[in-house]
Amino acid sequence: MTLAAKIEALLFISPRPLSLNKLAQLTGTQVEQVEAAIKAISVACETESRGLRLLRHGQSVQLVSSPDAAKLVAEFIKEEQRSELTRPALETLTIIAYRGPIAKVELDTIRGVNCSLILRNLLIKGLIEASEEKRTMTTKYSVTFDFLRWLGLNSVEGLPDYHQLNKDVSLDKLLAAEEGTAAQITTEANAPQTEPSVE
User: Is there a shared CATH topology between the 3-68 domain and the 84-186 domain?
Assistant: yes
H or E element, residue 55: strand 52-57
Work out the percent of the chain whose per-residue pLDDT is above 90. 12
pLDDT of residue 79 exceeding 70: no
Average pLDDT over residues 111-129: 86
Pick the more confident residue, 156 or 38. Answer: 38
CA distances 63 to 13, 15, 147, Å, are 9, 9, 26
Pick the CATH number of 84-186 from 3.40.1010.10, 3.50.50.60, 1.10.10.10, 1.10.3720.10: 1.10.10.10
Average pLDDT over residues 18-28: 91
- What does the alpha-carbon distance between residue 14 and residue 37 come to, in Å, rounded to a whole number? 17
Average pLDDT over residues 70-89: 72
Give the chain's mean pLDDT. Answer: 78
pLDDT of residue 137 exceeding 80: no
H or E element, residue 35: helix 31-47
Can you name the CATH fold of 3-68? Arc Repressor Mutant, subunit A (1.10.10)
Of 27-36, 64-73, 118-127, 181-190, the range with the highest mean pLDDT is: 27-36
Radius of gyration of the chain from its Cα atoms, rounded to whole angstroms: 20
Average pLDDT over residues 109-118: 86
Query: So where are the chain's domains?
Result: 3-68, 84-186
